[in-house]
Amino acid sequence: MAPVVFSGPTAGRPPYSDEKSGSVIVELAGQTEHRGTYFIPEGSSVLDFMVMVGLGTELEPSGANLNGRLKNASVVTIRTADHASISSVTVQRMSGAKRFALGLPMDLNSATTDELELVPGIGEKTATRIIEYRQEAGGFRKISELRSIRGIKDKKFAALRPYFIVE
């Protein structure tokens, strides 16, 4: 299955953004002309992804575990030493804002105040309370802990739940 590339504005949500299985969304960043957002088969490794985007023959990198499986909302960053061969590959998590734009849930334990405010129903005060709770509790263990925050009752929690994940 070839990757689907998402680039530029589209009408509505990106393909597969509502699907729970079958594909994961991965961004390719760094020193490569193949930068972009890809929808790849679930279970693909970093190496599989590199081959899909046409970088498999240039591999001599250090850094990432090339056999590691990519998770939804991963960012694979390429660095080159001489603009010909890849010197390093790193894998990180996407920012909350980018996840929101792609219709993916953002991590409650890493979302910034500004990212939290992107979510309908969360204003500056609620975002600040979420950050304060996270700092005091040492992070969220479950999404349901949002109910512990002043102003988030059952109805609001139900509306917010699809926007978040705890990683």
Task: Encode pLDDT of 67-126 as tens digits.
Answer: 889 999 999 998 877 656 777 888 999 999 999 998 999 999 999 999 999 999 999 999
Question: pTM score, two decimals?
Answer: 0.74
Residues 26, 77: Cα–Cα separation, whole Å: 11
What fold characterizes domain 105-165?
DNA polymerase; domain 1 (1.10.150)
Question: Taking the domains of the chain in order of start, what are their residue ranges?
Answer: 4-93, 105-165
Helix (H, G, I), strand (E, B) or coil at 123: coil
What fold characterizes domain 4-93?
Ubiquitin-like (UB roll) (3.10.20)
pLDDT one-digit tens code per residue, 21-52? 568 999 999 888 889 999 999 999 988 898 88
Greater confidence (124 vs 167) lies with: 124
